[in-house]
């Protein structure tokens, strides 16, 4: 019995093979990135590059899939490597335990990458990742802010140039314009106005970041199989 049998029934063996031969990089293994990583693993991606320099903290327990009371203090990339191998032992995992800046960007892009899921929350890093993906013709889906939001139904996949409300998207829009980037930059963005709190720490929950992560995977998987699916539908 094939562990991807139910997916094969839905999209066919050829598409599952295409997914298996795809390399996906994910930066930021928190609320968004964790659910994206879980779902691309279960979808059969053959090689996954995971990038995060953080450790699991007790404050992660309300929203981050990998976190438990038993693994507080463990490296996120180490914990995720263990989980990926338990789900799909054949998946190749490349770990990068670094805080990514412009200076050490090559440690990611020395690898072959077909798709990039950007779930990091450092804007400077986000900008460098998007610029390099555009330059290298790597398809990217980037998550904007999911903090201080309560309604996952307000999330959408949209080109960054068409976004509104989101302060991170505003910065990325300006960067795309200033750098004269012509490539499409799809982002996960919310139409919901952020909740106002009396605290400087951004609030979050278990369901909005999770939905954003699943949307990231949906975008990647559907893009991988779109040519075969369109051809099948046109017959």
How confident is the model at residue 52, as a pLDDT?
A: 98
How confident is the model at residue 136, as a pLDDT?
A: 96
Q: Is the dihedral of CA 94, 28, 129, 142 positive or negative?
A: positive
> Is residue 16 situated within a structural domain?
no
pLDDT surpasses 70 at 230: no
> Is residue 8 situated within a structural domain?
no
How confident is the model at residue 165, as a pLDDT?
A: 77
How confident is the model at residue 130, as a pLDDT?
A: 97
> Is residue 7 situated within a structural domain?
no
The DSSP 8-state label assigned to residue 56 in this structure reads: -
How confident is the model at residue 231, as a pLDDT?
A: 55
Tokens, residue 78: 């180490």
Domain that holds residue 41: 21-234
Q: Distance from CA of residue 36 to its chain's centroid?
A: 5
| Distance set, CA 40 to CA 88, 151, 183 (Å) | 11, 23, 24
DSSP H or E run through 27: strand 23-27
Q: pLDDT tier at 201 (50, 70, 90 boundaries)?
A: confident
Q: pLDDT tier at 198 (50, 70, 90 boundaries)?
A: confident
Instruction: Determine the average pLDDT of the residues in 143-167.
Output: 93
> Is residue 117 situated within a structural domain?
yes
> Is residue 9 situated within a structural domain?
no
Residue 28 CB coordination number (10 Å): 27
Instruction: Determine the average pLDDT of the residues in 190-209.
Output: 90
Q: pLDDT tier at 233 (50, 70, 90 boundaries)?
A: low
> Is residue 58 situated within a structural domain?
yes
pLDDT digits (tens, 9 = 90+) for 53-77: 999 999 999 999 999 999 999 999 9
- Total count of domains within the chain: 1
How confident is the model at residue 149, as a pLDDT?
A: 93
> Is residue 210 situated within a structural domain?
yes
Assign residue 187 the CATH number of its domain.
Answer: 3.40.50.720
Instruction: Determine the average pLDDT of the residues in 115-137.
Output: 97
For the chain, how many helices (H) and strands (E)?
8, 7
pLDDT surpasses 80 at 48: yes
Instruction: Determine the average pLDDT of the residues in 97-120.
Output: 97
Instruction: Determine the average pLDDT of the residues in 40-50.
Output: 98
Please classify residue 52 by burial: count the beta carbons closer than 10 Å to its beta carbon, then call 0-12 exposed, 13-18 middle and 19+ buried. buried
Report yes or no: 104 and 98 within 8 Å, Cβ to Cβ.
yes
Instruction: Determine the average pLDDT of the residues in 163-183.
Output: 93
User: CA 50, 87, 28 angle in degrees (round to 5)?
Assistant: 20
> Is residue 161 situated within a structural domain?
yes
Instruction: Determine the average pLDDT of the residues in 215-230.
Output: 89
Report yes or no: 129 and 154 within 8 Å, Cβ to Cβ.
no
């Amino acid at each position: 019995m094939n562990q991807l049998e139910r997916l094969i029934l839905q999209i066919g063996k050829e598409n599952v093979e295409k997914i298996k031969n795809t390399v996906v990089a994910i930066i930021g293994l928190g609320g968004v990135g964790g659910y994206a990583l879980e779902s691309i693993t279960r979808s059969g991606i053959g090689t996954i590059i995971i990038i995060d320099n953080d450790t699991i903290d007790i404050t992660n327990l309300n929203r981050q899939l990998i976190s438990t009371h038993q693994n507080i203090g463990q490296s996120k990339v180490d914990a995720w490597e263990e989980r990926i191998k338990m789900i799909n032992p054949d998946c190749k995992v490349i770990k990068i335990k670094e805080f990514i800046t412009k200076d050490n960007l090559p440690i990611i892009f020395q690898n072959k990458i077909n798709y990039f899921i950007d779930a990091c929350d450092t804007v400077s890093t986000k900008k460098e990742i998007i610029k390099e993906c555009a330059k290298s013709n790597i398809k990217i889906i980037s998550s904007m802010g999911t903090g201080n939001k309560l309604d996952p139904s307000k999330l959408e996949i949209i080109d960054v140039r068409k976004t509104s409300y989101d302060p991170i998207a505003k910065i990325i829009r300006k960067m795309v314009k200033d750098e004269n980037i012509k490539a499409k930059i799809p982002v996960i963005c919310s139409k919901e106005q952020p909740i106002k709190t009396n605290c400087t720490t951004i609030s979050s929950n278990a369901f909005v970041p999770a939905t954003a992560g699943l949307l990231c995977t949906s975008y990647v998987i559907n893009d991988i199989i779109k040519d075969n699916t369109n051809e099948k539908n046109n017959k």
